[in-house]
Amino acid sequence: MSRYIFVTGGVVSSLGKGVSAASLGALLQSRGYSVHVRKFDPYLNVDPGTMSPFQHGEVYVTNDGFETDLDLGYYERFLGVKLSRNDSVSGGRIYWDVLNAERHGDYLGATVQMIPHVTNKIKEYIGRPTDTDFVICEIGGTVGDIEGTIFLESIRQFANDIGRKNVMFMHLTLAPYLEQSGELKTKPTQMSVRRLLESGIQADMLFVRSPRMLTDDERAKIGMFCNLPATNVITSMNVDNIYKIPLVYESQKVFDIMAGHFGLPAIAGDMSKLQRIEKYLDADLPTCTIGVVGKYFDVPDAYKSLNEALFHAGIQNNVHVKIKKINAETFSADDCADVDGILVPGGFGTRGVEGKIAAAGYARTHNIPYMGICLGMQVAVIDFMRNVVGIKNADSTEFSKNCTPVVGIMSDCDKADMGGTLRLGAYPCNIKPGTLAEKIYGASQISERHRHRYEVDIKYKDGMEKHGMIVSGLSPDGKLPEMVEIPSHKFFIAGQFHPEFQSNPFDGHPMFNAFIAAAKNK
């Protein structure tokens, strides 16, 4: 039977529960244990798919095509696991399931209540089999949130159901530092743990977010008021990179505390992969500047997976990557004067699209390494069709109804059964031999994750290729262009998919690795 670790948060949101949960998994994996991770978000959206990047950050997509919270990206990158629709569960989805079951008659006329019907549904998702040694479940939000109360009740019940010795509760809090008095205040942590106790949950370990290491006296004080040993009070210290966090936890013997709770042997772990990243971060290396032409820069997490993938590629190329944020809505050629590469990421809507088209054109005409992702491929095609092929009103039907639709919903273009819904999740792509794409991937077929509605129209393929832009990747049925490139260019490639969703810090991703290598050479 799997053992369970529940990660909760208190005092304020955005303390880093997702990274902490992933870091615990990394410590377990370093000792040879298998790990699965799940995220429970109390908000009432059924999933994050309709939530604005300006408010919520990026929407992460799993292999099976489920739109999830961005924390699942942390889990997959840190741990190398492939997660699914069962691993990102919102309050809205829980209530949707319960109410649909009630309408279907599944409760046989019973009065449907929060307990047991809602709690049972939450526990059902928690307990879905994984065939792993550990399942780590992060509970989103902050202890005390109204919508999160039922989730705390559910994990309390779950611990009783499977036995308290098989469950560990980790609680992440904040110890604010008051500069004027020079004091680190522990009262918010005490109150948060007390609120957790009111829900019937005793924290087994506390991770206290702090700008510095807690002193022994501070740990003892927190332990006394929070009803646990001082050794189980861990400093979740601010670091300059999230991949150092597992090493910070390792230095405070976090695994030994977990081992003591679960009755595991206290063995040393292999932290070499993370130590390699730490060494890279501290190394004096050349810097490569990448201009990212986007529009969601007001929210730090809107391009989280993209930023991570560029960082990962820097590790593989032994170069530090500096991201220059270029606002697509105000794009000008001067923005690219000091960049070594240009990347146009995915996006929706008309805002800034002409700037993205211009950015692709600038990279093309100035022989600057270019990488396009999703919309970044579409704008590259639009630029090429307008300014090389000569179709001046070439555009996407997403942006204009009075145009030559080189990009559109495929049901409008070639009667393919795409409808008006998003193409989500992993799809295969056949790569044309002898292309840059084949050189990058070293394979004739790949699988990448998608999140888009519009496609490049295959009927323009011959015209593109006649003028020098080739379709180097196609869907297996030959109807959907998946990759385009310009062989005469130093490095110009774009994909309809989102390769950033399959990057990790230990290997990077082939497209990002090749892009940064080209930018580094420039």
First-to-final CA distance of the chain: 53
- How many Å apart are CA 517 and CA 522, to the nearest integer? 9
- How many Å apart are CA 380 and CA 85, to the nearest integer? 32
SS3 455: strand
Which pair of tokens denotes residue 99? 């109410």
Q: Cis (ω within 30 of 0) for the bond into 116?
A: yes
Phi, psi angles (nearest 5°) of residue 79: -110, -10
- Of the residues 153, 288, 500, 509, which is catalytic? 500
Sign, CA torsion 144/249/122/51: positive
Number of Cβ within a 10 Å radius of residue 139: 26
Which pair of tokens denotes residue 385? 């069709």
3-state SS record for 270-322: CCHHHHHHHHHHHCCCCEEEEEEEECCCCCCCCCHHHHHHHHHHHHHHCCEEE
DSSP secondary structure of 320-370: EEEEEEEEGGG--GGGGTT-SEEEE----SSTTHHHHHHHHHHHHHTT--E
- 8-state DSSP, 399: T
Assess whether 153 carries a catalytic annotation: no
Cite the beta strand spans of 10-107 per DSSP E. Answer: 35-41, 60-61, 67-68, 88-90
Listed in sequence order, the residues at least 6 apart from 146 whose beta carbon sits closer than 8 Å to its beta carbon are none
Helix (H) or strand (E) holding 101: helix 91-104
SS3 30: coil
Sign, CA torsion 192/197/198/201: positive
Beta carbons of 326 and 336 less than 8 angstroms apart = yes
Beta carbons of 399 and 443 less than 8 angstroms apart = no
3-state SS record for 113-163: CHHHHHHHHHHHHHCCCCCCCEEEEEECCCCCCHHHHHHHHHHHHHHHHHC
Sheet with 404-408, edge to edge strand ranges: 394-396, 404-408, 455-456
Residues in the chain: 522
Assess whether 137 carries a catalytic annotation: no
- How many Å apart are CA 198 and CA 144, to the nearest integer? 10
Assess whether 374 carries a catalytic annotation: yes
- Of the residues 374, 413, 452, 455, which is catalytic? 374
Q: Among all residues, which ones are annotated catalytic?
A: 374, 498, 500
